Amino acid sequence: MPPRVEEPLVHRSKIYTNACADREPEYSAYEQLQIAWGEQDNYEVVRKVGRGKYSEVFEGVNVASSSRCIIKILKPVKKKKILREVKILQNLQGGPNVITYGLELDPQQEALLGSHNRKPWSKFVTADNQHLASPEAIDFIDRLLRYDHQHRITSKDALNHPYFDPVRTPAA
């Protein structure tokens, strides 16, 4: 009998199996990323607070404004790895597991990273679409578009949402 050859173990995520594949190509295209680095002379390191694979993280101070900040100093690795790290940070910006401490970003960094605060759905209701914006519709959209999948409505709950009550077939 020939020796048994082990198949390589393949792990597929049960949630978001195609998370990156379903995105537009720009989502992961870090090799073309253009970074406008900000002015570094305005910052001073105070103490080390952490480290990562590609960087060390320090508490710092912006000497121009005397404000505290976090400084991430990149290790000398290949440019491609740094671009990938920056692209990942940009994609995670505003996500539920990104902790913010009420710090202000340097305006150049803010422009580079961008940020979008949560807006009330009522801001998107206009005279043209007001007839479509019932409280049930707004609640349904709000539950569908939650960033964190643990807070997002399940498909079963979505199908049972009151938004569909007007078209639901009565139970026999």
Residue 12 lies in a domain: no
Tens digit of each residue's pLDDT (9 = 90 or more) over 102-138? 556 667 766 666 666 677 888 888 889 888 889 999 9
Quote the CA–CA distance of 143 and 161 in Å, as a whole number: 10
Q: Which of 43, 28, 20 is nearest to 83 (CA)?
A: 28
**CB within 8 Å of 34: residues ≥ 6 apart:** none
Dump strand ranges (E) for 10-82.
Answer: 43-51, 55-62, 67-74
- Say if residue 54 is in the same domain as residue 105: yes
pTM: 0.41
* Each residue's pLDDT tens digit, 9-60: 666 666 666 666 777 777 778 888 887 777 788 889 999 999 888 788 899 9
Boundaries of domain holding 64:
25-31+39-113
Classify residue 163: in a domain, yes or no.
yes
Q: Which residue has the higher pLDDT, 164 or 82?
A: 164
128 and 158 share one domain: yes
Largest separation between any pair of C-alpha atoms in the chain: 76
Partners of residue 51 on adjacent β-strands: 56
Known binding residues are 72
For the stretch 132-158, pLDDT in tens is 889 999 999 989 988 777 788 999 999
- Please enumerate, by residue number, every residue annotated as part of a binding site for ATP: 72
Note whether 108 and 136 are same-domain residues. Answer: no
Q: What is the CATH classification number for the domain harbouring 85?
A: 3.30.200.20
**Residue 58 is assigned to a structural domain of this protein:** yes
| Number of domains composing the chain | 2
